[in-house]
Amino acid sequence: MSERTMQRKLIWWWVLVGSIAVFSFAGRAASDDAPDNEVFYRYDTVAVGLVLYLLLFSFALLIATGLDFREAFALRPPASWRRAALTALGAFVAMWVLAAILEQLFHAGEEQGLDPKQLSTDLLPPFLLNLVLAAVIVPVVEELIYRGLGFTLLVQFGDLAAISMTAIAFALAHGIVEGIPVFFVIGAALAFVRSRTNSIYPSMIMHGTFNGIQVILGAAT
């Protein structure tokens, strides 16, 4: 595929992730409500989330039209799962520690307001569905958009550019000014794993594990 076509696809990718960021910031600015700690206990959260992420994935597929999807989204196993696991584990620990430190400074999680209230038995079914959404659907789609297609389109400028640019886009997508440093660290760690393993699967697993632990810890405390 020509360089000009790749540049057009990169522009459209920026339009997609830029739109996500704009809508995220606009939605947060328009909301005057206090953080909703019951969002993980509602069925409508699952329904809206599924529709939204299916739509985002559809846009990513549209942008990638004409490319080899396997290459565009890095849908290939790493050369060594053992080495990939060690890389992901090291990045995960570093990400967790740095994110925890930054959280104490910027309180991004509190500002995001998604920590669920303490779990009770009658709320278990919707909670489990939302857990699957947060730990499986969201990481898969976000990794395909940012560390998959985005990284592939940006790596022509070098790994450092691809890591930093996808991390910035990922941080802005959450629509929280206070959360930009925290989400940048998370995005950079995920992109680093993508870069070192040349595969999207380790970062998907890493992202899903992080999300799942966060939701479970929030419900348990």
The pLDDT tens digits of the residues spanning 175-218 come to 999 899 999 999 999 999 999 999 999 999 999 999 999 988 87
Task: Work out the widest C-alpha separation in the chain, in whole angstroms.
Answer: 56
pTM above 0.85, yes or no: yes
* Residues 120, 175: Cα–Cα separation, whole Å: 30
* Residues 72, 136: Cα–Cα separation, whole Å: 20
pLDDT tens per residue, range 96-146? 999 889 988 877 665 555 556 666 677 889 999 999 999 999 999 999 999
Closest CA relative to residue 191, chosen from 130, 149, 128: 149
Name the residue type at position 216: I
HSE-up of residue 39 (Cα within 13 Å, Cβ side): 16
